[in-house]
Chains A and B, each alone.
Chain A
């Protein structure tokens, strides 16, 4: 019994870390400009495939590949933001949804062409292979590293958003964009910076997480629901909301898969349905009244 609970918590936390790394940028950019960028998962997939190509095919160091993937995806995202997203900022939600769905399908086609349909994972470095024995039980070293990494990212982001001048500007723009501009904040530049950072984090999530969530061309579509659940339960424009939401979703998902695999994710969706009925702004968000 205890063993099952620990398994659920451990694999849930690993899945939650991947979901958090990918979704937190989406939460903040959606909170900032109200843009529904459904193609955010494509940035995660791109990061994963870039790291895969570098590590598995070219033999580049794992951590160097992570860095390259993050920087490359951030650069790609800024170009897309300037060229493709900017024209639809002032358009309606339908245009934004159509555009980002189109980007998802384009990314699926490119991924399929370049890497084929089979699930792939970035090779884990030798130093993180095997099990770590912590006395009464052993855990996979890589997943421990993944969870610790997620914690570090959470603490860093929390500090950056809640305790720095840049973070205060981001929160001000999420609260009231017109007033933020009215005190001299250039919200467009702020948005580009956050968009780039959010995409870089997604790329790291996709690359680090490929051991938990395998890379396939349909990645951006298959996990879109999970990213959106984290954002909608966690609330827009928040750092800690998506973290708690990702943990809830990770634990729930792995509990369902381990205890009642025949129902799949059925109970997860029911729970989210109920939560959003009662709290349409999510559980932890900076809800706009």
Chain B
């Protein structure tokens, strides 16, 4: 069984020479980075370069073929998906993946994990962050707009009180006014809770708004690495690599 001590601490994530993929297909080759506790890393890159596969590998959906994944110093490569959630890794997947036959409130409570600490997330706190969810708390998961689904997906991840939050293109396909709200909410989450965040983005401007630590992926490999956050990100170079202009 997992040690309680691990769950209470705020962890840090180490990816060492990660090669991973789906079934026989390898998508990621030799991806390495280290994310200290409470810090934020942006992962940029074009469509289909392996950004989502990286997050899927961390939560155990994709297959880690070689390399090492460490959480707080100990390997998580052998842990199953639900065990990784229980050590404090929360995912906001690209497709949001709201439980459609659960109400909004059930979507949140089903994901609740209690951890000690003054800054832990509760139903009331998630509703305070996204008042819209409170208004729609009795609605079924399949009766929500795209923006509401995204708020719910983020709220659901927070209910697990993660020490590592993985966000997969949370602004994708949403109206500008909703994007504004989500950016405000993300800033609020950042200031209120000390958790590590990995943000997968296609838009350089959004990524730079949050993170100085960032990596750019191309065809499954790291082509720009500022994951130690030491230098000022080279915006021109990043935009050239990502190839799409920001909003």
Q: Which residues of A contact B (CB under 8 A)?
A: 165, 168-169, 171-172, 174-176, 178-187, 286
Contacts and interface: CB of A to CB of B under 8 A. Distances in A.
23 contacts: A168-B102, A168-B106, A168-B109, A169-B110, A171-B99, A171-B101, A172-B110, A175-B100, A175-B101, A175-B102, A176-B97, A180-B110, A181-B60, A182-B59, A182-B61, A182-B91, A183-B90, A183-B110, A183-B111, A183-B156, A184-B160, A185-B82, A185-B110
A179 B97 contact: yes
B109 A165 contact: yes
B60 to A, nearest CB: 8
Contact of A187 (B60, B82, B107): B82
B113 interface: yes
A176 B86 contact: no
Contacts of B113: 184
A14 to B, nearest CB: 31
Interface in B150-175: 156-157, 159-160
Contacts of B91: 182
A183 B106 contact: no
Identify whether the interface residues of A are mostly helix, strand, loop, or mixed: helix
B188 interface: no
A185 B81 CA distance: 9
Contacts of A175: 99-102, 141
B160 A183 contact: yes
B21 interface: no
Interface in B41-63: 59-61
Given A168-B106, A182-B82, A183-B160, 16 more contacts: A168-B110, A171-B102, A172-B99, A172-B106, A172-B107, A172-B110, A175-B99, A179-B99, A181-B81, A182-B61, A182-B91, A182-B93, A183-B85, A183-B90, A183-B111, A184-B86
A187 B141 CA distance: 20
A174 B97 CA distance: 13
Contact of A181 (B85, B141, B157): B85
